Amino acid sequence: MKEKRRKTWRKKLLLVSVILLATASIWCGYNLYLIQRTIDEAAPRKADVGIVLGAAVWGDRPSPGLSERLEYALWLYNQGYVKVLLVSGGLGEGKKVTEAQAMRTYLLEKGVPADAILIEDKARSTYENLLFSQQVMEKAHLKNALIISHDYHLARAKKMADSLQLPAAVAGVQSHVLYSPYHKMREVLALTVWELEQIWS
């Protein structure tokens, strides 16, 4: 009798495990689809301001990955899509220069006038990037934004902007220095955490 009960519980446990695995696979597959769909649909659009989302700083200089975002932002600025660039990013652990300060210096060296660069240097996450940038926009009377980041990052950034009721489109650069499959899978996890937080809250 005990052996029969054990077999029954094993079957139930196996069934639950299969269901959970299938659910997780479907969820991950959907988020990968969402990330790719956002990449496919993203395109430069005219906006009051381009928000450049921060990334790693090496010393006091933008990392190669962050430099890619800045070069794309610079191209959008020079093409007239945006007249102002808002660089957003706080102080990383063990760093002496904020991401925003490093980005501002980079853009100044590339010829962007100081009065065309706004700065937000407190954010420690993508959500804070957008929340604090929205506050800067309100003070500067800027109504809509073009969010600039790597392409794999756009889906989560757009969801967060929508949650803040921040009128924004997204434009992404494909990385040549970062391993995209790894970062896409990280985004699947980050997007899942964000969506679950929204459900629970």
Could you tell me which CATH class the domain 39-200 is placed in? alpha beta
57-58/168-173 β-pairing: unpaired
Distance (Å, rounded) from C-alpha 74 to C-alpha 80? Answer: 10
Distance (Å, rounded) from C-alpha 58 to C-alpha 97? Answer: 9
pLDDT digits (tens, 9 = 90+) for 123-159: 999 999 999 999 999 999 999 999 999 999 999 999 9
**pLDDT at res. 174:** 93
49-53/145-150 β-pairing: parallel
Domain-wise residue ranges, the chain: 39-200
72: tokens are: 């794309």
**pLDDT at res. 57:** 95
Per DSSP, the chain holds a count of helices (H) and strands (E) of: 6, 7
Cβ atoms of 137 and 145 within 8 Å: the answer is yes
